């Protein structure tokens, strides 16, 4: 039972550390105006359920950007920009190469969708490859954290908590000092000499 508790606490602590590191990386990246990145991987939030159950709505995923975008095969999961400039992460169900122009064309489909996407994806529109790393539901918190309201809240709340802790510590110290000063002084022994 004790070993089970230690393992559970260790896993919880590790997950919390990973979550905090990823959130800090995303917030710092967004604050500096860049894409959220972590050790060379881009972090994206999944906003639809088209890839469930493998990738849940509200999850964050890690993408490996760059490289030869014509290298992908049937079964690979890629993130691409659609004609409406929306990022989509779907699985390749068919791949073909046009050697004349040096571009590949991918037919994609969400795992949870009934049919393939209507338009094929050009390799020039591929952003990166899904690495298989996903953390469910963290995307909701990260989207809030990088919003204006979230950024303000993440700056104000810790400051207020720090201020409240400082006031509480000061009050506690003053109370202890007053208690010490108001306690009756120990009776001092009278001197042995008489005048």
Do 101 and 82 meet the contact criterion of CB atoms below 8 Å apart? no
Cβ pair 57, 140 in contact under 8 A: no
Cα gap 42→40, rounded to integer Å: 7
Q: What does the alpha-carbon distance between residue 63 and residue 126 come to, in Å, rounded to a whole number?
A: 11
**Residues whose CB falls within 8 Å of the CB of residue 146, separated by 6 or more in sequence, listed in order:** 26, 27, 30
What string of DSSP letters covers 47-73?
A: -SSTTTTTS-TT-EEEEEE-S-TT---
Q: How many CB atoms lie within 10 A of CB 54?
A: 13
Q: For residues 161 and 23, what is the distance between their CA atoms, to the nearest angstrom?
A: 20
Q: Is the peptide bond before 53 cis (omega within 30 degrees of 0)?
A: yes
Name the residues annotated as catalytic.
48
Query: Which of these, 96, 104, 107, 94, lies nearest to 67 by C-alpha position?
Result: 104
């Amino acid at each position: 039972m004790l070993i089970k508790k230690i393992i559970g606490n260790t896993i919880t602590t590790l997950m919390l550390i990973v979550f905090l590191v990823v959130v800090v990386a995303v917030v710092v990246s967004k604050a500096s105006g860049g894409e959220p990145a972590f050790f060379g991987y881009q972090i994206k939030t999944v906003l639809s359920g088209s890839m469930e159950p493998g990738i849940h709505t509200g999850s964050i995923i890690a993408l490996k950007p760059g490289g030869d975008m014509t290298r992908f095969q049937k079964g690979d999961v890629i993130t691409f920009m659609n004609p409406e400039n929306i990022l989509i992460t779907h699985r390749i169900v068919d791949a073909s190469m046009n050697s004349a122009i040096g571009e590949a064309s991918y037919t994609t489909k969400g795992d949870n969708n009934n049919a393939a996407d209507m338009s094929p994806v050009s390799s020039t529109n591929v952003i990166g490859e899904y690495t298989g790393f996903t953390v469910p539901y963290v995307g909701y918190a990260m989207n809030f954290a990088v919003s204006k309201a979230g950024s303000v809240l993440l700056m104000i709340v810790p400051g207020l908590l720090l201020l409240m802790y400082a006031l509480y510590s000061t009050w506690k110290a003053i109370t202890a000092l007053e208690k010490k000063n108001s306690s009756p002084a120990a009776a001092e022994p009278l001197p042995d000499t008489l005048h």
